[in-house]
Amino acid sequence: MPKILTESQIASYRDLGFAYPVPVLSDHAARALLAEIDSFHARTGKHVRDLRGKVHLLIKSLYELARSQAVLDAVEDLIGPDILCIESGFFWKPARDNGFVAWHQDNTYLGLEPAGAALGTWIALTDSKRDNGALKIIPGRHDRTLDFDMIPEENHLLRFSRRVRGVDPATAVCVELEPGQMSVHGNGVVHGSEPNRSDRRRVGFACIFAPPHVHPTKGGRMSASLMRGTDTHGLYDRDPVPECDFDPAAVAAIERALSGSLALYKTKA
């Protein structure tokens, strides 16, 4: 019996590659977390939209969100009780911002096998609607990497500027969420988002989760956080549990990842 997802949401994920909405935070808790992130920015001068790869290791409250019962119950309903978090990051669009995410598949850059066994979660900390650049998904599961073109990086929120060929935008589903709601999608699903044409910002926190038998095929050995259950295969180095914001052990782990398997996120000089 599912822990949190409905039978129809599980069927949607199995058949179409995605499911939503999944409540994981109250509206108040989502807004409080966003206020904490804003305070973090004001206090340190570091903006989370510039921190990519494993942001859940850098800010303690994001680690707690990634391993919260509601998030992990939803993930468990789809991939089982043993859960690793491989990476995380923000998708942050200020009001009237030209930033966008081209049509892409997560597994194009992750290179995980078996393809389609990992999934992404996307948690809205503001409302995420059509006018402010909500996530859009092309329905359908894909167990292979689709052909793509390299595109200019200007205004592209992902540093790896790839765009899947042959996408018909008319078939896209706009995943509209309220603050505190989450969507989930398979790592082979084609998705992206348009610029924010509204006067509101759009902020989402995303994670990639996988069961322990999923193995990386490029970029060298990966590291991961064991969020629930047991690591039954030992294919990943273990990320530390952060004790505080910018825990030195966590920072060192991220630096190792950015010099290896997650080098695509490393800021260019």
Arithmetic mean of pLDDT, 128-135: 97
Q: Has residue 187 been placed in a domain?
A: yes
- Is residue 1 situated within a structural domain? no
Q: How many CB atoms lie within 10 A of CB 219?
A: 15
Dist CA 194 CA 32 (whole Å): 26
Phi, psi of 94 (to 5 degrees): -65, 170
Inside any domain, residue 226: yes
The answer to whether residue 139 is domain-embedded is: yes
Interatomic CA distance for residues 253 and 67, integer angstroms: 18
Q: Tell me the pLDDT band of 266, cut-offs 50, 70 and 90.
A: low
Q: What is the CATH number of the domain that holds 92?
A: 2.60.120.620
Asked if residue 269 belongs to a domain, the reply is no
pLDDT: is 218 or 29 the higher one?
A: 29
Q: Is residue 2 part of a domain?
A: no
Return the axis-axis angle of helices 7-16 and 69-79, rounded to nearest 10°. Answer: 60
Q: How many domains are there within the chain?
A: 1
Please give the Cα distance from 19 to 204 (Å, whole number): 16
- The predicted pLDDT at position 225 comes to 97
- Is the model more confident about 49 or about 169? 169
pLDDT in tens, 47-81: 887 777 899 999 999 999 999 999 999 999 999 99
Q: Is residue 192 part of a domain?
A: yes
Measured CA to CA, the distance from residue 213 to residue 79 in angstroms comes to 11
- Which residues form the domain of 191? 7-264
Let me know the angle formed at the C-alpha of 61 by 99 and 21, rounded to the nearest 5 degrees.
60
